[in-house]
Amino acid sequence: MSRERIVAVVRKEVREFRRNRFVVVTMGVLPVVFLITPMLTIFRIPDSASGTQVKAAVGTISLLMLIVPIVLPPVIAAYSVVGEREQGTLEPVLTTPVRASELLLGKAIAAFMPSIGIAYAIYGIVLVAVRFGAAHVVRSVIFHPPEMLAQLLFAPLLALWAIWVGIGISTRASDVRVAQQLATVASLPLLGFTSLITFQVIKPSVPLAIGLALALLVADGILWRIVSRIFDRERLVTGASAVRRSA
């Protein structure tokens, strides 16, 4: 595993994102939407609201916070391989010494960084807004340590999961749009999982949050390996699967 090659891939990907209007607009518009909606919800809650009302509202907010790292990265990740293939840049890359695992890890990191940066920024802004403007009952629920830990741990791990699924689809898809649609659909089960936590069907506690986070971390590592294995140079270059595995 070469750190230098991974860094080269990350740097190139980030440069490309910055010059891709679609990515810039997606990264710019979605966070604004996800920032305004929860704040509108929070600031409508009066001090006299019941505990059930507050928990339901905060659940919705927390869900929205976790949607960003689930929804945003697959759009980029799904483009990463099939998009390069379509624009004819994949073959020259595959002629270099870069390993599949390095190339894919670089692409995953590049998709992960802006997504998680935006997710944490939104969460940070919400926390600041709640601290200084929301009703006391809301504050006490939002600043609940297990809840915060779950948010902070799950956001990157769920993002990584969504990214690996997106890249996996991208390595097998033959069209960018199909890949992006499939990746979005594939991220829906994650929303179900986060809903269970945010609406406290699964009640978050510190041990549970850490346990689930570790499980997600292991799952992300396994996904990375699986996606690296299904990355078939021969199929990507010629459209036909390799009979004998290439190096």
Partner 1 sequence: MQLPRWFRRRRVGFGSRPVTWQGWLLTVLAVGGAIGVLAGMRGSSSRFPIAIVILVAYAIVARLAGGAEAEAPEPAAPIEVREDERIPPRARPAPRVERRAPSGPPALVVEHLTKRFGDRVAVDDVSFTIAGGEVFGFLGPNGAGKTTTVRTLGTLVAPTSGSAVVAGIPLEPGNGVAIRQRIAIMPEAPGLYLRLTVAENLEFFAGLYGVQNMHERIGEALDSVNLGARANDPCGSLSKGLRQRVGLARALLNDPAIVFLDEPTSGLDPVATREVHELIDRLRERGVTVFLTTHRLEEAERLCDRVAILNTSLRSIGRPDELRDRLFTKTLIVRTRAPLPAPEQLLTGVPGVDSWSSNRDGVYELAVSDAAVAAPAVARALVGAGSDILSLGEERHSLEEVYLELIDDDVEARR
Q: Which is nearer to partner 1, 191 or 232 (CB)?
A: 232
Q: Decide: residue 63, CB within 10 A, 0-12 exposed, 13-18 middle, 19+ buried.
A: middle
Structure tokens that stand for 201 in this block: 């069907």
Rg of the Cα atoms in the chain: 20
Residue 65 engages partner 1 in binding (rule: CB under 8 A): no
Specify the 3-state DSSP secondary structure of 45: coil
Residue 136 engages partner 1 in binding (rule: CB under 8 A): no
Structure tokens that stand for 228 in this block: 């690296």
Taking the complex as a whole, the smallest distance from the CB of residue 220 to partner 1 amounts, in Å, to 24
Please report, as residue ranges, which positions from 75 to 114 form the binding site for partner 1 (by CB under 8 A): 87-99
How many C-beta atoms lie closer than 10 Å to residue 143's C-beta?
12
Residues present in the chain in total: 247
Residue 36 engages partner 1 in binding (rule: CB under 8 A): yes
Between CA 209 and CA 101 the distance in angstroms is 29
Residue 131 engages partner 1 in binding (rule: CB under 8 A): no
Window contacting partner 1 (CB under 8 A); options: 20-28, 54-62, 71-79, 145-153:
20-28
How many C-beta atoms lie closer than 10 Å to residue 92's C-beta?
9
Please report, as residue ranges, which positions from 207 to 246 form the binding site for partner 1 (by CB under 8 A): 233-234, 237-238, 240, 242-246
Among 30, 39, 183, 190, binds partner 1 (CB under 8 A): 39
Which positions lie near partner 1, rule CB under 8 A?
A: 2, 4-5, 7-9, 11-12, 15-16, 18-21, 24, 28, 32, 35-36, 39-40, 42-44, 87-99, 125, 129, 133-134, 233-234, 237-238, 240, 242-247
